[in-house]
């Protein structure tokens, strides 16, 4: 990202589908990438965080475990990273609880809440749970996204629109939705 010209390289994600946490939770057998060992971040991860801080990039936590996410954010704060986001905090395999998310916001991170597929047997209950967590974390620390684009799911704009409508139906104001869907992402990107 530091070599992308024009300032277009802004996000550095920690490992996602090849993250050790993801592979273990999915019970996969393939290779994985670790970010920590024995409760400590790896030296190489600290070096990446130093580059993120130096070049004013965004630290995204990827599919790390909740405990690893907090390690990443603490190190990011220690090294002066100005923009951080917990990648889909409530989804598997991250599965942060509200106190962990609140701790993450105190470290300076935004919490990403993902609408995902807006229909289905459990969609309403899932969105109820997301809405409750957003309220407890606070719209000022929340970012909403779709995480769509996979085969068999709605197109991202369609699913995202349905997610925003579902949040309105759960008494989020237009101002709160605007903050979570536009203002906070723009702030995260440094726009």
Does some domain include residue 126?
yes
Predicted confidence pLDDT, tens digits, the chain (191 residues):
778 878 778 888 987 777 666 667 777 777 877 878 999 998 998 999 999 999 999 999 988 888 999 999 999 999 999 999 999 898 888 889 999 999 999 999 999 999 877 777 788 888 999 999 999 999 999 999 988 888 888 888 888 999 999 999 999 999 999 999 999 999 999 88
Does some domain include residue 178?
yes
Does some domain include residue 108?
no
Does some domain include residue 50?
yes
Q: In this predicted structure, what is the pLDDT of residue 99?
A: 97
Residues 137 and 98 in one domain: no
Strand duo 142-145 + 109-114: pairing: parallel
Residues 124 and 172 in one domain: yes
Does some domain include residue 76?
yes
**Which of 52, 78, 103 is the endpoint of a domain?**
103
Residue 37 is inside which H or E element, if any?
strand 36-37
- For the chain, the domain total comes to 2
Does some domain include residue 12?
yes
Residues 127 and 87 in one domain: no
Residues 4 and 97 in one domain: yes
Q: What is the domain range of residue 175?
A: 115-191
Residues 108, 84 contacting (CB under 8 angstroms): yes
Residues 60 and 82 in one domain: yes
Does some domain include residue 190?
yes
Q: In this predicted structure, what is the pLDDT of residue 142?
A: 97
Residues 83 and 10 in one domain: yes
**Which of 52, 74, 103 is the endpoint of a domain?**
103
Residues 98 and 4 in one domain: yes
């Amino acid at each position: 990202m530091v070599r992308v010209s024009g300032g277009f390289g802004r996000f550095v994600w920690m490992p996602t589908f090849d993250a050790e946490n993801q592979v273990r939770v999915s019970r996969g057998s393939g290779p994985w990438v670790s970010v920590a060992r024995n409760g400590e971040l790896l030296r190489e991860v600290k070096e990446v965080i130093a580059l993120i801080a130096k070049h004013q990039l965004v630290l995204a936590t990827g599919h790390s475990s909740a405990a690893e996410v907090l390690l990443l954010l603490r190190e990011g704060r220690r090294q002066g990273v100005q923009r951080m986001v917990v990648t889909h905090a409530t989804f598997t395999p991250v599965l942060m609880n509200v106190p962990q998310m609140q701790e993450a916001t105190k470290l300076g991170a935004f919490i990403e809440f993902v609408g995902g597929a807006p229909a289905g047997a459990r969609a309403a209950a899932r969105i109820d749970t997301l809405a409750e967590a957003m309220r407890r974390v606070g719209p000022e620390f929340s970012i909403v996204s779709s995480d769509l684009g996979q085969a068999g799911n709605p197109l991202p704009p369609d699913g995202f629109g349905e997610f925003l409508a579902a949040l309105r139906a759960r008494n989020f104001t237009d101002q709160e939705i605007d903050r979570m869907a536009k203002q906070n992402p723009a702030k995260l990107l440094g726009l």
